[in-house]
Chain A
C-alpha cells in the first residue's frame, strides 16, 4: 500500500507516492534522480548517503522515505549552483580532499553540519566529526585540511597554503 508524502528537496517541493518500506536514499536516487547521494554499505557504516534533513546530517539509508514526510532535505546537488563551488567544495578541490569522489558528497554534507555547529573546529574535532564517514582513498589528511580551509574561508580568514607539505 503506497503512501503519499510531501517533502522539500533542495528548496523544491515534491509530493510522491511511495512504498512505506522505501529507504530515503532510494527515494532521492531513484525517484528524484538525484544520484549525487551514494550508497556504500548496508549497515549505516560508511556515510556515503549522508544528506541534511532540516539542517542535521543524517544517513539517508537509515531513514524511511515516509519518515521524511513534511521535512526539508538538502543533498549535494543543492549546496551550490551548477558550475560553482561553495567554500567546502572549494576546500576539497584546493586541498585534494577527494580521489575517486564516491564518499565525497557524504563527506561534504556531514562537514556542512559540522561547520554550522562548530565554525572553527580543531583537527581533532574534525576527525571525530567525520568519523561516521568512510573514505578508502585519501587517508583523511587532506579531507581534514579541506574542512579547515573551508572553516577559514567562511570566517573571512586567510586559509592555510594549499600546496602539499613535504618533510
Chain B
C-alpha cells in the first residue's frame, strides 16, 4: 500500500525575543493512507459545509417560516421564589395580533404542565401556583407577529406573593431552610442525591499517616454556554393526520423525539407521529441537549390551535433562564510524601443544581464523570463524595463544552497538584513527571473504576516543556522577580473521559448511549451517509465523509453527510460530551468495513477469482500476482445494482449501531505563561501551548480549530465568565453587556500540537477532541496566575480570576 506524506508542519514560536525562546522547531508528520483526491484520514480537507454558511444560506431555526405561522413570546418571573396570586390576561388578549395567552392552568387540563428532566427529576412547563427562579416561564403569548407577541407579553399582569428564596447552596441544607420542592410528596429538605466513589476508610488512613497534606476549597462558578444562536423551535402540528414536525435547536434529535412521545403520548403524540428536525445549529456546547419549557409550550400551543408556532429566545432570556453549567463547590485534598510522591486524594463536592436536577448526565452518573478526579497520576487511593441540592436558581448542569463534569474534576486535581508542589517546594512539572502513569501501564485501572485506554503523559508534557523552553522560562522568572515583576508559569496535565458510552453503564432515560451510521452508495459510486449525531459546528459533514473515504476509498467529496432528521437518520443519542467521533465515527468505520466485505464478494465474482486471491487498498481490489486485474470501488458498486452475483442482495448499503467497548481517554499537557501588572492586577497571557493527545487525527485543520475554540472556552471561565446572583435571587449579569464572553482582544494566539497514542479499542484509533481544551485550560491559567503571585504566600485564587481579585489579594497582603 502506498503511504504518502501529506505534509510537514512547523512553526517558530511567536515573539521569540520576548521570552528569549530558543528558535527551534518541531515537525509532526502525519501519514495519510489515501490520496488527496480521496481525502481520507490525515488530510486537512476544506470543509464541505462552509459554502452555505459563507454565503448567508445556512438554515438556522429562526430562518424558517411556515404558512400561517404564529409567534410565541414568554412572560417570565421577576422573582426567584413567589406564589402566583393572579394572572390577568384580559389586556393582553386585546392587543392587536394576539391570538391567545396560555398559562399553567391551561396546560394542566391536558396534563402538559409538568415534564420529566433528563435526570428523571420533574420540571414545570408552566407553573400553576409557584415560581421557583427568576426568569422562569409564567405564561406564553401567541400572536400573528413577533412584535405583537412582545406587545402581548408586556400587557400580561401577574400578581405575586414574594417568598424568601434559597440562593446560597451552603445554606440549602440548613434546618431552617424552606423546603423548595413541595411538589414532591414527603420531601423534607433540599437534598437531591448523594454519590460517592473510591475507598473512604483506606483514604482516611493514608491521609492520617501522610507526611504532607494540602487542602483547598474551590468554587467552579455557574457559567453559561452562550452559543451565538440562542434556543428556539417551530412546532408544526397537523390536526388532519395527527402529526407533529418539531423543528428545533437540538443536539440530540432522536432522544428528543422519544422525550416528546413520553411527555405528550397521552394526548396522541406517540413516537411515530413525531418528527424532529434539527436544522443548522449556531453553536451548542451542551446548552441544546435538554428540553426547555419553551419547546413544550410551543408544541402544546401548536397542538391546540393546529398552526405552526415559532419560539425564539432573546439572548437575555437565554442567559437568564437556561443553558447553565458548573456550580460545584469542591474541597480538594492531596496527601503525599515530602519528596513528591502522590499517595491519595480526597474530594467533597456540593453541587448547586438550581430548582430541579435537569443535568444532562448519563442516568447512572448523577455527578457525571467527576470521579475522573484522580487525574493523570499513578496512585490507587482516593475517595470522593458529592451531594446535590436544590436552590432558587434556574436548572443547571449542562456541559459547557465538557464531558459530564470532567472540567470540575480536572480543575480540582490540577489545582491541588500544584498546591502540593508548592507545599513541598518542588517544581510542578517535575512533580507531575514523577507521578504520571507510565505509557507501558495502559490500559490503566483508576481507583474509581475507569480503565484509561492509552496515553503517553511524559511525552506530552516533555513536548510542551520543550516548546516553551520551560527551564529557560523558570530562569527568566527568577530574574523578573528580582526586578519586582510578576510572572507565572502554569501547567495542566489532564486526562479526559469521553465518548459515552458502553451500554452496560451508560444510558439517558434508559436509552443506551450507542450511536449509529447508515451508508448508502448509489449506482454511480457516490454516497449518502446518515448519522444519529448532530453537528453544531464541529464539521461532521467533512469528518464523517473522510472516515468513510478512508475505509472505502470513495472520495470524501462524493459522500454527502446528513444528520438531524429523525425520519431519515438512524437512531442515535446525539452530539455532546465529545462523543461523535468515538461513537458515530466508529459506526461509520464499521459500516464502511461491512461494505468492503460485500465489495470483496462482488469483486471476486467480477474477476472470477476466489475472495482470498484479492488484495484491497481503499478504492480498489486487485488480484494477487496480477496487478493489472483491478476492480475499483465504483465499478463494484455499479455491479451491485447491475450485475450482482445470484443469491446476493442487490444494492450497496450498510448500517451499524456502535456500542463502544470502553470510553476514550484523551489527554493534554498545557503550559500557560502570564505576566501580571502589580498595580492594576491586569493579566497578560504571554504564551499558551497546548499539546493534545486525541488519538488518530481525522482532519488536522478541523482538530486544530476545535482546540482553538475549546481553549477560548477555557479562558472564559478562568478569567471572565461567572453568573452572579444577589441574595434575592436576582441575576446580576444577565445580558451580554455584563456577561463577558471573550472577544478577539482577550483571546491569545494559541499554539497547539499533538502527541498521538491511538485508542486501542476504537476502530480508527480516534478519541474525540472538541472539549479537551475547555477542560484543560482553566487550571493551566489559574496555576500560572497563582504561580506569579506565590512569592506573596498566595496559594489559590477562585476563578474567574479578575484583575480586581488579584489587586485585592496583593493589597490585602500589603504588596500594593
Q: Name A residues whose Cβ lies closer than 8 Å to a Cβ of B.
A: 19, 21-22, 26, 29-30, 33-43, 45-46, 48, 75-77, 80, 82-83, 85, 89, 92-94, 96, 98-105, 108, 123, 126-128, 130-144, 163-167
With a CB–CB cut-off of 8 A, which chain B residues contact A80?
55
Contact (A38, B9) CB under 8 Å given A80-B55, A89-B54: no
Evaluate contact between A108 and B54: CB separation under 8 angstroms. Answer: yes
Contact A101 B704 (CB under 8 A): no
How many angstroms between the C-alpha atoms of A21 and B699 in the bound complex?
47
Q: How far is the CA of A99 from the CA of B706 in the complex (A)?
A: 9
10 closest cross-chain pairs (CB), A and B: A36-B56, A101-B53, A102-B282, A100-B537, A99-B537, A139-B708, A76-B56, A139-B712, A45-B736, A41-B315
Q: Is the CB of A43 within 8 A of B227?
A: no
CA distance A142 to B709 in the complex (A): 10
- The reply to whether B56 and A35 contact each other, CB–CB distance below 8 Å, is yes
Say which residue of B316, B537, B747 sits within 8 Å of A43 (CB atoms).
B316
* B712 pairs with A40, CB closer than 8 A: no
**Closest-CB distance, B456 to chain A (whole angstroms):** 17
Cβ B753 vs Cβ A140 within 8 A: no
Contact across chains for B709 and A139 when beta carbons are under 8 A apart: yes
How many angstroms between the C-alpha atoms of A43 and B63 in the bound complex?
A: 21
In the complex, chain A residues whose CB is within 8 Å of the CB of B537:
98-101, 137
Among A40, A126, A128: residue with most chain B CB under 10 A:
A40
Please give the distance in Å from A157's CB to the nearest CB on chain B. 21
Q: Is the CB of B227 within 8 A of A100?
A: yes
Tell me, rounded to whole Å, the shortest Cβ–Cβ distance linking B60 to chain A.
Answer: 7
Main secondary structure of the interface of A (DSSP, over half): loop
CB atoms of A144 and B50 under 8 A apart: no
Q: Are A167 and B11 in contact (CB under 8 A)?
A: yes
- Cross-chain contact of A93 among B50, B706, B747 (Cβ < 8 A): B50
Determine if B154 is an interface residue (Cβ-Cβ < 8 Å): no
**Within the assembled complex, what's the spacing in Å between the Cα atoms of A136 and B467?**
27
Contact: B283 with A102, CB < 8 Å?
Answer: yes
| Contact string against A for B residues 34-66, beta-carbon threshold 8 Å, 1 for contact and 0 otherwise | 000000000010110111111111101011010
Q: A89-B54, A140-B712 are in contact. Are A41 and B736 (CB under 8 A)?
A: yes
A34 to B56, CA, bound (A): 8
Q: Are A166 and B11 in contact (CB under 8 A)?
A: yes
Residues of chain A lying within 8 A (CB to CB) of residue B227 = 100, 102, 136
Q: Which residues of chain A come closer than 8 Å to B704, judged between CB atoms? A: 96, 164, 166
Q: Is B473 an interface residue when CB atoms closer than 8 A count as contact?
A: no
Q: Which of B683-711 contact A (CB under 8 A)?
A: 689, 691, 700-702, 704-706, 708-711
Q: Give every chain A residue within 8 A of B270 (Cβ-Cβ).
A: none
Whether A99 touches B538, Cβ cut-off 8 Å, given contacts A131-B743, A163-B9, is yes
CB-contact partner of A166 in B13, B53, B753, under 8 A? B753
B residues at A contact (CB < 8 Å): 7, 9-11, 13, 26, 28, 44, 46-47, 49-58, 60, 62-63, 65, 146-147, 225-230, 280-283, 285, 314-316, 463, 467, 536-539, 689, 691, 700-702, 704-706, 708-713, 735-737, 741, 743-745, 747, 749-754
**B750 and A141 contact, CB distance less than 8 A:** yes
How long is the Cα–Cα vector from A92 to B469 in the complex, in angstroms? 33
A35-B744 in contact (CB<8A): no
Minimum C-beta distance from B741 to chain A (A): 5
Task: Judge whether A140 and B744 touch: CB under 8 Å.
Answer: yes
**12 A–B contacts from the bound complex (CB under 8 Å):** A37-B56, A45-B735, A46-B736, A92-B54, A99-B283, A130-B743, A136-B228, A141-B749, A164-B704, A166-B10, A166-B11, A167-B752
Q: Which residue of chain A is the closest to B706 with respect to CB atoms? A: A99
Chain A residues within an 8 Å CB radius of B315: 40-43, 45-46
- How near does chain B come to A103, taking the closest CB pair, in angstroms? 5
A-chain residues with CB within 8 Å of residue B58 when the two chains form the complex: 36, 101-102
Asked if B689 and A104 make an inter-chain contact with CB atoms under 8 angstroms apart, the answer reads: no
User: Are the C-beta atoms of A136 and B713 separated by less than 8 Å?
Assistant: yes
Q: What separation, in Å, do the CA atoms of A142 and B704 have in the docked complex? A: 10
Establish whether residues B709 and A104, one from each chain, have CB atoms under 8 Å apart when the complex forms: no
Would you call B701 and A96 a contact (CB within 8 A)? yes
A26 to chain B, nearest CB (A): 7
Nearest CB in chain B: distance from A132 CB, A:
8
| Given A136-B227, A143-B744; 5 other pairs, CB 8 A cutoff | A75-B56, A99-B539, A100-B537, A102-B282, A165-B9
Decide yes or no: A103 and B56 within 8 Å by CB, A42-B315, A143-B744 being known contacts: no
Which of the residues A77, A123, A135 comes within 8 Å of B56, measured between beta carbons?
Answer: A77
Q: Which residues of A contact B53 (CB under 8 A)?
A: 98, 100-101, 104
**When chains A and B are docked, how far (Å) is the Cα of A143 from the Cα of B744?**
9
User: Judging by beta carbons under 8 Å apart, are A26 and B711 in contact?
Assistant: no
Chain B CB within 10 A, most for which of A30, A94, A167 = A167
B736 adjacent to A43 (CB under 8 Å):
yes
Which chain A positions have C-beta within 8 A of B706?
A: 99
Give CA–CA (A35, B65) in the complex, Å: 11
Q: Which chain A residues lie closer than 8 Å to B7 at the CB level?
A: 163
Cα distance A43–B741 in the bound complex, in angstroms: 13
Q: Say whether, besides A131-B745, A134-B741, A98 and B54 are in contact (CB < 8 Å).
A: yes
Our pick among A37, A41, A134, A164 for the contact of B9 (Cβ within 8 Å) is A164
Nearest neighbor of B466 in chain A, beta-carbon distance:
A167
| Given A134-B228, A137-B283, CB of A42 within 8 Å of CB of B56 | no
List residues of chain A with CB within 8 A of the CB of B281: 100
Q: Kindly state the separation between the CA atoms of A133 and B228 in the bound complex, as whole angstroms.
A: 10
Instruction: Give chain A nearest CB distance to B328 CB in angstroms.
Output: 22
Q: Which residues of B contact A83 (CB under 8 A)?
A: 51, 55
How many angstroms between the C-alpha atoms of A136 and B55 in the bound complex?
Answer: 20
Q: How far is the CA of A93 from the CA of B706 in the complex (A)?
A: 15
Shortest B543–chain A CB gap in Å is 12
Contact assessment for A137 and B709 in the assembled complex, using a CB-CB cutoff below 8 Å: yes
A102 to B26, CA, bound (A): 35
Q: Within the assembled complex, what's the spacing in Å between the Cα atoms of A99 and B227?
A: 12
Residues of the B chain whose Cβ atoms lie less than 8 Å from the Cβ of A33: 65
Q: Complex Cα distance A51/B290, Å?
A: 33
Contact A139 B711 (CB under 8 A): yes
CB contact between B701 and one of A21, A75, A139, A164 (< 8 Å): that residue: A164
Q: Which has the most chain B C-beta neighbours within 10 Å: A19, A36, A164?
A: A164
What is the CB-to-nearest-CB distance from B508 to chain A, in angstroms, rounded to a whole number? Answer: 23
A33's closest neighbor in chain B, by CB? B65
Taking CB atoms, residues of chain A closer than 8 Å to B52 are: 101
Q: How far is the CA of A162 from the CA of B201 in the complex (A)?
A: 56
Contact present for A166 and B60 (CB under 8 Å): no
Query: Are A167 and B55 also in contact (CB < 8 A) when A99-B538, A102-B229 are?
Result: no
Shortest beta-carbon distance, A65 to chain B, in Å?
A: 12
Decide yes or no: A138 and B705 within 8 Å by CB, A34-B56, A46-B228 being known contacts. Answer: yes
Contacting residues, chain B, for A36 (C-beta < 8 A): 55-58
Q: Are A38 and B282 within 8 A (Cβ)?
A: yes
Chain B, residue nearest A30 (CB)? B146
Residue of B nearest to A81 (CB): B55
Q: Which residues of A contact B463 (CB under 8 A)?
A: 167
CB distance from A156 to the nearest CB of B (A): 22
Cβ B536 vs Cβ A42 within 8 A:
no
Q: Pick the contact of A38 from B46, B51, B60, B737 — CB < 8 Å?
A: B60
Asked if A165 and B11 make an inter-chain contact with CB atoms under 8 angstroms apart, the answer reads yes
In the complex, chain B residues whose CB is within 8 Å of the CB of A133: 743-744
Is the beta-carbon distance between A94 and B46 smaller than 8 angstroms? yes
A131 CA / B711 CA spacing, docked (Å): 18
Complex alpha-carbon distance, A136 and B721, angstroms: 13
A34 to B55, CA, bound (A): 11
Q: Are B736 and A82 in touch, CB under 8 angstroms?
A: no
Cα-based distance from A126 to B44 in the complex (angstroms): 25
B10: A residues at CB distance < 8 A = 165-166
Residues of chain A within 8 A of B51, CB atoms compared = 83, 85, 93
CA distance A46 to B230 in the complex (A): 12
B228 near A89: Cβ-Cβ < 8 Å: no
- From known contacts A38-B282, A100-B282, infer whether A136 and B741 are also in contact, taking CB-CB under 8 Å: yes
In whole angstroms, how far apart are the Cα atoms of A139 and B283 in the complex? 13
Known: A38-B60, A93-B50. A167 touches B705 (CB 8 A): no
Cα distance, A83 to B56, chains bound together (Å): 11
